[in-house]
Amino acid sequence: MKKATICPICQSKNIHKSFDAKDHFLSQEEFAIGQCEDCGTLFTNPRPEDKNLGKYYDSPDYLSHDTSHSGAIGKLYQTLRQINIKRKYKIVSQYVPAGKILDIGCGTGELLHFFYKKHWDCLGIEPNASARKFAKSHYKIEVEEEKSLKTLPATSFDIISMWHVLEHVPDVNQRIVEIKRILKEEGYLIIALPNPISWDANYYHAYWAGFDVPRHLYHFSPEAFAKLAKAHGLQIVKTLPLKFDAFYVSLLSERYKRSSFPLLNASYNGLRSNWKAKKTGNYSSLIYVLHKNQ
């Protein structure tokens, strides 16, 4: 394990342990969540060495890499994914009607396949070899390994998207530098993140599936993410909710708590979370649309 003594985002020494969380999904190991007093970022601390992170994804139940659609949770995930894909396309096309898109962490390629059918020029980045292979063979999409980011031409993409991906990236600052380099001057960056100050996050606390330690290395509140964006010369032009996430994350959280009525409780708490967020804006997951400061 690797324990940080400074904030991995802003390098402040003013950090402290916030609470303990467990890897309910796979290893059952305990991890701590640290917090930076200066930039406000929550982060998993200590966290596995980068070379060991892969084993925490090594499960047939890791749904973004799953192609079988098996089990009740898997079927629900696939249904919600198809609904969200159409909404994501609608959001993107409001800013760029058609063009060149890079989807980082594209998984098995369903989103890019949808864009491809709408006559977009598509490229995916996916670190998982089996998911990458499926996307390439099943959808005939061009998908590269993560290291290919460094070799992509400058200012070459109209849209770069990271849907629940940035929180997994070991070096967030370096990733944003890479993204800015390859994003067109008039292009848009779209990032979706779990929101650790949503109502469902506060309700489930250490059982909240949105923390997903140690796969999620960072846990950005809207304020913390806004500071990160500003530090890199990016402007948030729109913040949008992913309302279905409140239900899905609540269902996983109920399972982690070994609830007797997981579906009923998750449905109720998903509704409560979205209702509370109407006033606060703190939905379970948020989409940030950004562009470079001109």
List Cα–Cα distances, 81 to 70, 113, 154, 292, in angstroms.
Answer: 14, 13, 31, 29
- Look up the pTM and report it: 0.93
Scan for tokens 């701590």, then name that residue: 32
Does 192 score more than 70 pLDDT? yes
Q: Which of the residue ranges 58-67, 90-99, 210-219 would you say has the lowest mean pLDDT?
A: 58-67
Q: How far apart are CA 239 and CA 102, in angstroms?
A: 20
Task: Determine the pLDDT at residue 8.
Answer: 96
Task: Determine the pLDDT at residue 70.
Answer: 55
Average pLDDT, integer, range 36-52: 96
Q: Which of the residue ranges 15-29, 68-82, 239-253, 264-278 would you say has the lowest mean pLDDT?
A: 68-82
Average pLDDT, integer, range 136-150: 94
Q: How far apart are CA 246 and CA 202, in angstroms?
A: 12
Per DSSP bridges, beta strands 15-22 and 30-36 are antiparallel
Average pLDDT, integer, range 51-58: 91
Q: How far apart are CA 277 and CA 233, in angstroms?
A: 28
Does 33 score more than 80 pLDDT? yes
Average pLDDT, integer, range 104-127: 96
Q: Does domain 15-292 have CATH number 3.40.1260.10?
A: no
Does 63 score more than 50 pLDDT? no
Does 108 score more than 50 pLDDT? yes
Per DSSP bridges, beta strands 42-44 and 218-219 are antiparallel
Task: Grade residue 82 by pLDDT with cuts at 50, 70 and 90.
Answer: confident
Q: Which of the residue ranges 182-186, 272-276, 290-294 would you say has the lowest mean pLDDT?
A: 290-294
Does 23 score more than 50 pLDDT? yes
List Cα–Cα distances, 76 to 52, 164, 178, 249, in angstroms.
Answer: 30, 17, 34, 11
Does 124 score more than 50 pLDDT? yes
Task: Grade residue 81 by pLDDT with cuts at 50, 70 and 90.
Answer: confident
* pLDDT over 90, % of the chain: 87
Q: How far apart are CA 293 and CA 127, in angstroms?
A: 30
Q: Which of the residue ranges 43-57, 68-82, 204-218 would you say has the lowest mean pLDDT?
A: 68-82
Q: How far apart are CA 215 and CA 53, in angstroms?
A: 7
81-102 core/surface letters (b: 16 or more CB in 10 A; e: else): beebbeebbebbeebbeebbbb
